Amino acid sequence: MPQTYSDIIALGAGASRAIQPPVGQDWLITDLGCSVWAGIAPAGVPSIHVDLTDGGLVARFLSSLNTRGWGKKQSFFINNVNYLLVTNPAGGFGVNYAFSAKLANDYGAGASGVISDLVPLATGISYSIRPAVGFEWLLTDFGSNTWLGGPPLALPDMTVELFDGALGASVRDATNFRGWYQETEIYADNSNYVRITNTAGGGATLGFMGAIARIVGTAASLIMNDVITVGAGGVQTIRPPAGEEWKITEIGSSVWLGGAPAQLPDVTVEYFDGALAAIIARATDIKNWMNPFEIFINRDNYLRITDTTGGGQNIGFSGIKTVVYQ
């Protein structure tokens, strides 16, 4: 059986075409390109729109008008039910587009491992991306059919939060670049998951991409996400128990510092050993905030996240247990 399904396809003026796996297969789309590019160098992008669709609802993830999402490796998980729609927006000429894809799962008559989906929401309404008990999910991207701002810097008009059912810590919003240009690796289980909110002025369809990371059943989840409330200058310590190592992939907060579109979570993130500390991210500088986090910690060298708002807020992180040893 083929393991890759890449292709180059001619697309007429104004035409659309689906990238849709057959029933029984999940694909992971890793890149897309086009024979014609739009925009002004060095900010030109392939002249195609890329949407998630179920054949009715549509949410945009990549646009020929905007740079959001084009500067990273794509991680679009799709199946026969929720798949990609590629559109040539030009009215006067055809283009060739290409995609790179690999087989993520050949499940036959079983169940798809893709959890990508589309959700129509009224303005201000939220939706929880929450696995059932015993499941862990990996979320890799978010989109909307409504974007905020003008080309080439418009962003999906939505907020993405780490959420535990009561407390939320934002990791993406429509007014700031932070998070939208990086690869996404956010984990979720039934206790600590993700909430998306439609922040557009009217109804919108929000979309998310992801896959089942693992099925743990009745065993303990390996997802280490948490959201807590701290007071002014308060600290969230992320410290594995003895015998465990964790990977931290995302950090967020409910209050951000600066002026849009360059606001950042209003926290300081430090490596800490109980005595010595070294800053790896802070609210006043872009270092680490514009790239994926991949921070490995153990019992001896771990993370300390400090509120720098002066008033207190919610602080959250997403991570996964990578090693358990004696």
Domain extent listing, the chain: 1-111, 221-324
Q: What stretches in the chain show pLDDT beneath 70?
A: 326
CATH topology of domain 1-111: Jelly Rolls (2.60.120)
Could you give the CA distance from residue 229 to residue 97 in angstroms, rounded to a whole number? 47
Q: Which amino acid is at 79?
A: N
Rounded Cα distance between 231 and 313, Å, is 7
- Per-residue pLDDT, 1: 77
The reply to whether CATH 2.60.120 applies to domain 221-324 is yes
> How far is residue 270's CA from residue 304's CA, in Å, rounded to a whole number?
5
Residue type for 120, please? P
Count of CA atoms in the C-beta half-sphere (13 A) of 247: 11
Q: How far apart are CA 182 and CA 317, in angstroms?
A: 16
pLDDT of residue 324: 85
pLDDT of residue 326: 61
From CA 22, how far away is CA 45, in angstroms rounded? 29
pTM higher than 0.95:
yes
Identical fold between 1-111 and 221-324: yes
Coil vs helix vs strand at 22: coil
Closest by CA to 73, choosing from 273, 292, 275, is: 292
Q: Is 245 helix (H, G, I), strand (E, B) or coil?
A: strand
Sole residue written with tokens 């993520």: 104
